[in-house]
Amino acid sequence: MKITFLGTSGGAPTSLRGLSAVAVERGSEIIMFDCGEGTQRQMSKAGLNLNKIEKILISHVHGDHILGVPGILQTLSLLNRERELLIYGAEGIIEFVKAVRRTVWFNPTFPIFVEHVKEGLVCKEKDYSIHTSLTDHVLPGFGYALAEHVRPGKFNPKRARELGVPEGSLWSELQRGENVTLSNGKIIMSKEIVGSSRPGRKIVYTGDTRPSQSIVQLGKNADLLIHDSNYDEDNIEMAEKKGHSTASQAAQIAVEANVKKLVLTHFSPRYETTDLMLKHARAIFQNTIVAEDLLSIEIPFQKNDSG
């Protein structure tokens, strides 16, 4: 799983930072968190295939989080895409996409499915699920957690052969945790050949939010927390008024949620440098980094005793 930050500025772009967008590459698909203006150009610069986007998850309908959607819809049509595109978002996203289709001339070559999300499960795929929690912004918004399902334990083919299990369907059954019976009547227990189950990976994206206990719960034990850090402590009152967090507040959320790594993003254009933000955050949560446009992070699998 690779995370690429396509836009890390809040409100307006700067010469170094585009507007909010994060691409998650997982297998053959790309899942987008927000889609600010200029997202498709940033994807091109990052070497990401636009046609691999399967889902776009919009945190809220402020323009700096959604104005890249029309361009992506048009370009995918120019590419003659046929697969459905799924767009999930806070209240207003359905009306926004309808307005784009009504007022911007293009002929979609693919189905576009748009849905307002509620707290809880957004979608469940074969090996991962996406959940939401409400954020605390100036208008309704949601944070998202992409959590992989628990993976089966590691299969030991050498041990399977030693126990006389013929390669084929019985191996698959054992891998799924099922016990099997051989032709001679001998019962082979899955745990004799398959190690302990292995945890999947979990990443959480907050969108714009004040410090929120709902985000703490959503982010519990995440491998990566991507948190709004629009202001430093010099503007903590402004952060509260505008519905954002400071770097230190984001770090405190990371501590409470027991995450492994924190990435600060969505910086106000007023800041020419994020050095002080990073310093303040690391004083609270050491494993913190600052997102820069086109930064990519690989999220490795967690290991247990069986590998």
> What confidence tens digit (pLDDT) does each residue in 254-301 have?
999 999 999 999 999 999 999 999 999 999 999 999 999 999 999 998
Q: What is the pLDDT of residue 150?
A: 87
Share of the chain above pLDDT 90, in %: 82
Could you say which of 192, 216, 250 is where a domain stops? 192
Domain check: are 43 and 139 in the same one? yes
For residues 244 and 230, what is the distance between their CA atoms, to the nearest angstrom? Answer: 6
The yes-or-no verdict on residue 304 having pLDDT over 60 is: no
Burial label for 116, CB within 10 Å (0-12, 13-18, 19+), is: middle
Q: What is the pLDDT of residue 92?
A: 95
For residues 85 and 50, what is the distance between their CA atoms, to the nearest angstrom? Answer: 12
Name the residue among 2, 1, 9 with its Cα closest to residue 34. Answer: 9
The yes-or-no verdict on residue 127 having pLDDT over 70 is: yes
Q: What is the pLDDT of residue 155?
A: 86
Q: What is the pLDDT of residue 306?
A: 45
**Neighbour-count burial for 177-209, b at 16+ CB within 10 Å, e otherwise:** eeebeeeeeeebebeebbeeebbbbbbbbbbbb
In a domain, 305, yes or no: no
The yes-or-no verdict on residue 305 having pLDDT over 80 is: no
* Full domain range(s) for residue 109: 2-151+199-298
Residue 64 annotated to the active site: yes
For residues 195 and 56, what is the distance between their CA atoms, to the nearest angstrom? Answer: 36
In a domain, 307, yes or no: no
The yes-or-no verdict on residue 307 having pLDDT over 50 is: no
Q: What is the pLDDT of residue 175?
A: 83
The catalytic residue among 34, 64, 228, 293 is: 64
Domain check: are 126 and 217 in the same one? yes
In a domain, 303, yes or no: no
Positive or negative, the CA dihedral 156, 161, 167, 170 is negative
Could you say which of 138, 170, 192 is where a domain stops? 192
pTM over 0.85: yes
Residue-wise pLDDT tens digits, 17-74 = 999 999 999 999 999 999 999 999 999 999 999 999 999 999 999 999 999 999 999 9
Burial label for 105, CB within 10 Å (0-12, 13-18, 19+), is: exposed
In a domain, 252, yes or no: yes
